[in-house]
Amino acid sequence: MHVFLSRLLFLAVAIAGIVLAPCSRAGGAKSTVRGWLSDEGCAGGRARSGTYTGTNPDCAKKCVHDGKKIVLVDPDHKRLLTIANQDAAREQVGDYVEINGELDEQTRSLHIDSLKLLEKGRAMCDVPAKKKT
């Protein structure tokens, strides 16, 4: 009887491990996403009006310094993704980047595994006006 109960307990633990293991990884999938790093305040306001572009880097850096969360503005999918590990993105706020990491669609968050600078951010007032032809 003791052997039977031991085997039954082992079998129950094994089945529980198999059933519950996918739940621990269900939160996110590895992804590569490109977009602008900004703060939730400025980017959120622009997104609500349908604009998914970079924000003023100086303003975004100030807002992050003042406690706003860092988000990735993903123009391809017209969404904002909250950066789960904020310190990994802090130095690149305002820039256009490529992030490899774990994307959780449910919580709209992105955990950065690696980050690559694609374009240095700049305020649109710094961009020279196009010449009229």
Query: What are the structural domain ranges in the chain?
Result: 29-122
- Rounded to whole angstroms, how far apart are CA atoms 133 and 131? 6
- Rounded to whole angstroms, how far apart are CA atoms 38 and 18? 40
For 40-75, write each residue's pLDDT tens digit.
999 999 999 999 999 999 999 999 999 999 999 999
Please state which architecture CATH assigns to domain 29-122: Beta Barrel (2.40)
Per DSSP, the three-state class of 110 is: strand
pTM of the entire predicted model = 0.73
Q: How confident is residue 111, by pLDDT bands cut at 50, 70 and 90?
A: very high
